[in-house]
Structure 1
Amino acid sequence: MTDRPTSPRPLPLPPGEEPPIPPLSVWPTGQRDPAAQLRDSGCVPGTDADTDRIPPAVAAYAIATYTRPGDLVLDPDCGAGTVLTEALRAGRHALGLTARNRSWTLARANITAAKTSGAWRDGSVLDARPKVLAAIRAAGLVGRVGLVLTALRTAPHEQKDRAPGPDRDPDSAIAELAATLTYCEPLLRSSGHLVIVARPRRHPDGSLVDLTTPLLAAARAAGLAPVDRCVALTAGLRGGRLISRASLAERRSASRARAASTPTALTVHHEVLVFQLAHDAELAASAAAAIPWPTEDDVIRPAVNDVEYPGWRRAA
């Protein structure tokens, strides 16, 4: 388990070679069940209806690991606002966006509850889609965000006067998140991090969906480089055993699968992918390997993986 993110790869990479997937680390974030975590965080009733939320313990761990007090934490699709609540409780500034009416109401209520309990008071949630981050209204955020922390959301978008439909296909959700990453990249400050938390999904046959590969590709296309890959436990640790915190619906689904002779294991983790600006990640790897890094006057840096990274000059 790592306390701070590190970049394991040396520089430079041979032309056309993809960076390897970073090594795994494990976050012990499942010691409390989901309901207890929401109570501990002071979240308002109804927060549990946000099935794609980042669990408060996972959000708190990421914030403590990748930020310092006073940093700005951004969740561009904040749902019920668990990330914002944990950021405020940790003494960070918090900004969230959501275009879902119910989510905006819950996130605002959770921020108010955190402030009332004495948390840091600089937090807000906007009723807007992530695209607003590319507008002139967000110009003051460029280069100021210490951590972008967000979840892969497959819940259907709200539609007026219609009942919620089935969850969206993961490919559609990843494509939407890819656009969000592009909007967020210019906002990251040098040495800042972007963290994606993804709840495991299954195909109809019970096999797990590969979310990691397309998420890595989406982040690289947005000018970000992977620096860490982690497993955030949603199960408790009891000696050498994992105690599942699966919901009743998940347990029933697993029981039906066993009855149909297709046993399915309960998921006990969330996937966590950590990124930095491409140039920041390369500087860190260069320093770790004691490789001198040329200045801008010495070399014109080529595109990496056929992508021009707009953040590298700002990080220099």
Structure 2
Amino acid sequence: MIDRLTSSWPLPMPPGAEPPNPPLSVWPTGQRDPLAQLRDAGCVPGTETDTERIPPAVAAHAIATYARPGDLVLDPDCGAGTVLVEALRAGRHALGLTARTRWWAVARANVTAAKTVGAWRDGSVLDARPKVLATVRAAGLIGRVGLVLTTLRTAPDRANGPDRDPVESALADLATTLLYCEPLLRSGGHVAVIAPLRQHPDGALVDLTTPLIAAGTSAGLAPVERCIALTAGLRGNRLVTHASLAERRGGARARAAGAPTALTAHHEVLVFQLAHDAELAAAAATGAAWPTEDEVIRPAVNGVEYPGWRRAA
């Protein structure tokens, strides 16, 4: 996988238009601390208790980069709804799913709050698991989602079994979710997975990149970009972490035990496209010939065949 897109810009440009500067692979999304970001976004009280949420600044950067105005942004496991808020604030439609009643109530309140202060796009939160996306209830979404933006969430309220790690369970769930989401992407759409760093007891980082890439490719997606979303502020030539008190105490305990542990300062971001879109971009970059419309037929997904060139724009 490459760290940059093969094309100069991830969104299709109008004829004759000059593309802007390519997006940075390091996103300066940690200039404000987490609580300040929630206040800036107008999120309701209780949003901060979703410790696995996508930070509003990270969500806003991803949406501005990979979704066009008027696009539909989908978070299939939306938690407290920070992605939905930022999508609405940016003039995109938003749809979130969550099976946890607690987060459903907070996410709905966040959508309502965003609309109250002027967001006019459609925003909805469904009390459902991602598997509903593979049913007839989601038929109207096929080929219409511009950006799937989600994160790796563990499920502390669900038994993972004595021999199964919660992170492994979360990765397996995400792989299935991406499979459900793939048919919903429009041509040129993107999937962005935000993965907070996780550490082993000895302080070493858990390798999430490899299984996340495997999850995307198994769902028929092609990895096109790998970025770093800073959660620490840039102060000149150094990073200032916004670690919580619990994280700082954990680091102090690790140092006292002789196992120094660094505070995390970024999230991993993996960006995917439909496999045929990525192949188109690579062919355009190299000047290679590409099959005609009649020759391009996507393989069946969830039992349905789609002509790759006839997806909704």
- The answer as to whether partners of 2:53 and 2:80 remain within 8 angstroms in 1 is yes
- The answer as to whether partners of 2:297 and 2:308 remain within 8 angstroms in 1 is no
1:168 deviation in Å? Answer: 6.0
**Aligned residues: CA RMSD:** 2.4
How many aligned positions are there?
287
- The answer as to whether partners of 2:72 and 2:146 remain within 8 angstroms in 1 is yes
1:206 deviation in Å? Answer: 1.7
- The answer as to whether partners of 2:74 and 2:148 remain within 8 angstroms in 1 is yes
- The answer as to whether partners of 2:299 and 2:305 remain within 8 angstroms in 1 is no
Rounded to whole Å, the distance in 1 between the matches of 2:107 and 2:83 is 9
- The answer as to whether partners of 1:278 and 1:312 remain within 8 angstroms in 2 is no
Q: Aligned with 2:138: secondary structure?
A: helix
1:86 correspondence with 2:86: yes
1:275 deviation in Å? Answer: 0.2
Rounded to whole Å, the distance in 2 between the matches of 1:241 and 1:134 is 45
Q: Aligned with 1:131: secondary structure?
A: helix
In structure 2, do the counterparts of structure 1 residues 302 and 190 end up closer, same or farther at CA, with 3 Å as the change threshold? closer
Rounded to whole Å, the distance in 2 between the matches of 1:298 and 1:144 is 23
1:120 deviation in Å? Answer: 2.4
- The answer as to whether partners of 1:97 and 1:128 remain within 8 angstroms in 2 is yes
1:100 deviation in Å? Answer: 0.3
Q: 280, 297, 313: which one pairs with 2:308?
A: 313
1:197 correspondence with 2:208: no
Rounded to whole Å, the distance in 1 between the matches of 2:141 and 2:87 is 17
In structure 2, do the counterparts of structure 1 residues 193 and 310 end up closer, same or farther at CA, with 3 Å as the change threshold? farther
Q: Which runs of 4+ in 1 moved over 3 A?
A: 296-303, 308-312
Corresponding residue number in structure 1 for 2:270: 273
1:289 correspondence with 2:286: yes
Q: 207, 216, 232: which one pairs with 2:229?
A: 232
The gaps in structure 2 that reach 5 residues or longer are: 8-23
In structure 2, do the counterparts of structure 1 residues 298 and 190 end up closer, same or farther at CA, with 3 Å as the change threshold? closer
Corresponding residue number in structure 1 for 2:35: 35
Rounded to whole Å, the distance in 2 between the matches of 1:205 and 1:150 is 28
1:203 deviation in Å? Answer: 1.4
Q: Deviations over 1:46-76 (max 9, x none)?
A: 1011011000000000000001110000000
1:296 deviation in Å? Answer: 5.2
Q: What fraction of aligned residue pairs are identical, expressed as a percent?
A: 74
- The answer as to whether partners of 1:80 and 1:106 remain within 8 angstroms in 2 is yes
Q: Aligned with 1:156: secondary structure?
A: coil
AA partner of residue 84 (structure 2): L
1:206 correspondence with 2:203: yes
TM-score relative to the length of structure 2: 0.86
Q: Aligned with 2:45: secondary structure?
A: coil
- The answer as to whether partners of 2:44 and 2:110 remain within 8 angstroms in 1 is yes
- The answer as to whether partners of 2:296 and 2:307 remain within 8 angstroms in 1 is no
